[in-house]
Structure 1
Amino acid sequence: MTTTPDTAGGAASATGYASVFDTPVTGRWSAPGRVNLIGEHTDYNDGFVLPFAIDRRATVTVGVRDDRLLRVASTFEEGVNEISLDALDPASMTGWPAYVFGIAWALQTAPERATTPSFAAAGGDLSTIDLSAVPGLDVFVESEVPVGAGLSSSAALECSAAVAMTELWSLDLGRETLAAVGQLSENEAVGAPTGIMDQSASLLGRADSAVFLDCRSLDSEVVDLGFGASDLEVLVVDTHVEHAHATGGYVDRRASCERGAEAMGVSSLRDLDADDLPRAAELLDDETYRRVRHVVTENQRVLDTVKALRTEGPTAIGALLDASHVSMRDDFEISVPELDLAVETAQRAGALGARMTGGGFGGSAIALVRSADREAVAEAVTTAFAEAGYTAPTVFTVHAAEGARRDG
């Protein structure tokens, strides 16, 4: 019932490159999608998150050109899109190519953003970035990260392009700085007001580990998940309910958090804890209060999850995953019936814990299951969707994997 990732390792990208471009291949780079184990909508509130990179990746095969053109093509759309490195402008970037073009623009723009929070926290000397004389590139993209599933296919593409460009253009930039580059691109070139979590997970991930990230300081720690030793797996249920972060509810939720922080007299909701909630209930309207309550309690759940992993092991985190979903469903109101059904069915079928993951309004749910229960849980969810008349979900396991890298 569950599916496994494509293990071709970029073969389609190399073949596709040769069918479109005539410049020699210089190399191949890849970066993973991510599952956020817990910590939803806390990243842009300067809070805590606990994502892990997954064993599904976006791959870019790249060749160096002798002019200043940046050209991109992919397995999922015919044709070639191009832009001059001398005319990078977010206003003219549309569709999926913006995820690649935007990285080049963000690298070019980074020195001007050195004092912004993400770049300042990342450190590094941005003044050394100079794209005025670097060569153009031909880039061919393939991805095994499902699009619209809440597994950050966008960050996987951004980060694979970022590590390729950094190497080919001889830019001395650390992984934390590249995460800030990816966030800048997604915010201004793509137009999605996301935080820095997805890019950080894609760049910093390690096998069987999660990245515990403080989104204010950008301090990160690798936390051993211990799923392998405990014979546990993460089951992903892709509901195929599409979402779009650049529009709609995601933008509204972020604005609501900003209003709540302003009304409470703090720079971000990170500065509040459970003791502040009674005052928030008095000052805020009901909807804004519930948005604030989700962020405050979710931050604490991340901290509690990290503590449980370190002191009790992964079997102790199930109730925290369950509570996170309830908070997203009732307080942040970003779940949908398909996600609720996936979570509730997985819990009844024996999952240790389950929650929706990602920005919400569609995408995927995750369930922490014993390996012996994987097929039974997957079968129960698939049957429940059929009985409800929903589109059949895609159910598969993911494992915590290495971050962005050069593959060849």
Structure 2
Amino acid sequence: MGKTSRQSAIGQAHSKLILMGEHAVVYNEPAIAIPFDTLIVKAMVKSYEGTVQFISDFYAGELEQMPDKMKGLAECVKSVCEQLNQPVENFQINLESSIPIGRGLGSSAAIAVSLVRGLYNFFKKNLNRETLKRFVDLAEKYAHGTPSGIDREATTHDHPIFFQREHHVEQVKIGEPLHLVVADTGRVGDTHASVASVKEQYQRAEVVTRKRIAHLGQLTRKARQVMESGLLVELGKLLDQAHLELQALGVSDPGLDYYVEVSKQAGALGAKLTGGGRGGCMFALVDSVSQAKVVEDALVNAGAARTWYCKVANEVMSYES
């Protein structure tokens, strides 16, 4: 069984929300993501004699016996120990997460970030950003094949980011606070099916599909401009246009479309899916806290599994569940 001692450390990471640019980012267009830290994951690492134990809501047991879908996390832990010249033994990892899995909110990246931070804290070593990114990429490759990197960046930055592959990540300033309502459909998103849909459309109608992807990139660049200028009504219109393009690419589904429409009917300035699509989450932009409550109530009444309110302001973010 082993025994525990008082030596312990914690690593933490927050969720993320893609505001604009999901899927197009895979084709080298930009995306905007914001930290969503009402949803977090904590990894507590503590001394434990014997083989490494991993305790979580989705698996509890030895590190070496973790299921295939979690192999990336096991490899991440082993690689950190190798990097720090530490044996893979005599500690236990307790993972606690409020981030729903498979909803496009960056759960796998956030878990990896918390694990790496927790291990470095446990072994009392300094962790730089480049090293953290390398370990998170290792875990993400197991989870997503060839990740774009946006989840890694969004879960490790504490401000909104403008992300484009092979480009320096830039901070997005905010002219006026964003009031967002996020809704969970209650269904795991099928990112693989969404990605396959876009690829299939590329093969079947390359010119049209290329234009849609390019348009999503244009909408993302415009969104950054209007966010920095505080033009929230214009931002809402851009969100609506982006959702229509994602619909046309086969990334959305009737459930997401329904909640988007419910939000609009309840007075949202704009609404769209977020993340991989085909399930998962959507969000709505509103003009005030009071309007957020109206939209939240409408989404709950329409059957949303869970909703969250999030206010994003320049340099300072506050969240409520």
1:34 aligns to what SS in structure 2?
strand
1:322 corresponds to which residue?
A: 240
Task: List gaps (5 residues or longer) in structure 1.
Answer: 1-18, 85-91, 109-128, 261-283, 386-390, 403-408
**1:285 has 2:201 as partner:** no
Distance 1:107 1:135, change over 3 A: closer
Aligned to 1:140: 94
CA–CA distance in structure 2, aligned partners of residues 71 and 141 of structure 1 = 11
Superposed CA deviations along residues 246-269 of structure 1, whole A, max 9, x for unmatched, are xx4145147558xx5xxxxxxxxx
1:102 aligned residue:
75
Superposed CA offset, 1:325-357 (max 9, x none): 000001x21111110011112112211111000
Matched, 1:310 2:224: no
Matches of residues 139-288 of structure 1 in structure 2 within 5 Å? 139-169=93-123, 173-187=127-141, 189-206=142-159, 210-217=160-167, 219-228=168-177, 232-245=178-191, 248-253=192-197, 255-256=199-200, 285-286=204-205, 288=206
Q: Secondary structure of 2:92's match?
A: strand
Return 233-242 or 173-182, whichever deviates more.
173-182
TM-score in terms of structure 1 length: 0.68
Q: CA deviation at 1:296?
A: 1.4
Q: Measured at CA, do residues 398 and 192 of structure 1 come closer, stay the same or move farther in structure 2, by a change above 3 Å?
A: farther
What root-mean-square deviation, in Å, do the aligned CA atoms of Structure 1 and Structure 2 show? 3.0
Kindly indicate whether the alpha-carbon contact (under 8 Å) linking 1:183 and 1:195 is maintained by their aligned counterparts in 2: no
Could you tell me which residue of structure 2 aligns to residue 31 of structure 1? 13
| Cα distance in 2, alignment partners of residues 144 and 182 from structure 1 | 19
How far apart, in 2, do the equivalents of 1:355 and 1:20 lie? 49
- Does the 8 Å CA contact 1:356/1:365 hold for their aligned counterparts? yes
- 1:368 and 2:280 correspond: no
State how far apart, in whole Å, the 2-side matches of 1:339 and 1:48 are.
Answer: 23
Instruction: Specify the alignment match of 2:40 in structure 1.
Output: 57
Contact 2:2 2:49 in 1 (8 A): no
Deviation at 1:147, TM superposition (A): 2.2
CA deviations over 1:160-219 (Å, ceiling 9, x no partner):
1122234445666532542343233222x335443211111110123xxx11122222x1
> Counterpart of 1:165 in 2: which secondary structure?
helix
- Three-state SS of the structure 2 residue aligned to 1:104 is helix
**What displacement does 1:293 show?**
2.8
1:83 aligns to what SS in structure 2? helix
Task: Give me the whole-angstrom Cα distance separating, in 2, the residues matched to 1:311 and 1:176.
Answer: 32
Structure 2 residue aligned with 1:352, among 266, 269, 274? 269
Match 1:82 to one of 46, 54, 63: 63
> CA distance change for structure 1 residues 134 and 306 in 2, over 3 Å: closer, same or farther?
farther
Give the Cα–Cα distance (whole angstroms) in 2 for the partners of residues 179 and 24 of structure 1: 29
Partners of 1:377 and 1:157 in 2: CA distance: 30
**Counterpart amino acid of residue 71 in structure 2:** A
CA distance in 1, matches of 2:79, 2:104: 23
Matched, 1:338 2:255: yes
Q: Normalising by the residue count of structure 2, what TM-score does the alignment of the two structures yield?
A: 0.84
Report the AA paired with residue 213 of structure 1.
F
Question: Do the aligned partners of residues 104 and 77 (structure 1) sit closer, same or farther apart at CA in structure 2, a change above 3 Å counting?
Answer: closer
Native 8 Å contact 1:73 1:140 kept in 2: yes
> Shift of residue 66 of structure 1?
6.3
| C-alpha contact (below 8 Å) 2:109/2:136 kept by paired residues | yes
Pick 1 or 2: higher relative contact order, CA cutoff 8 A, min separation 6.
1
When residues 27 and 306 of structure 1 are mapped into structure 2, their CA distance, relative to the original with a 3 A threshold, is: same
Rounded to whole Å, the distance in 2 between the matches of 1:398 and 1:25 is 36
Residue 30 of structure 1 aligns to a residue in which SS?
strand
Distance 1:80 1:292, change over 3 A: same
Post-superposition CA distance 1:7-46 (Å, at most 9, x none) = xxxxxxxxxxxx9962434211210111111111133323
Pair 1:339–1:98, CA change in 2 (3 A): same
SS in structure 1 at match of 2:166: coil
Question: C-alpha deviations, 1:71-122, integer Å up to 9, x for none?
Answer: 2101x246323239xxxxxxx7524x435313235658xxxxxxxxxxxxxx
Could you list the per-position Cα deviations for residues 291-336 of structure 1 after superposition, in whole angstroms to 9, with x for gaps in the alignment? 4333211112111111112234444311111111000001x21111
Q: Distance in 1 between matches of 2:2 and 2:241?
A: 49
Residues 1:244 and 1:139: Cα distance change in structure 2 (over 3 Å): farther
Alignment check: 8 A CA contact 2:175 2:228 kept:
no
Long gaps (5+) in structure 2: 316-321
Cα offsets for 1:227-253 (capped at 9, x unmatched): 54xxx41101111122244xx414514
Query: Identity percentage over the alignment?
Result: 22
Hey, what's the Cα distance between the residues in 2 that align with 1:353 and 1:33? Answer: 22
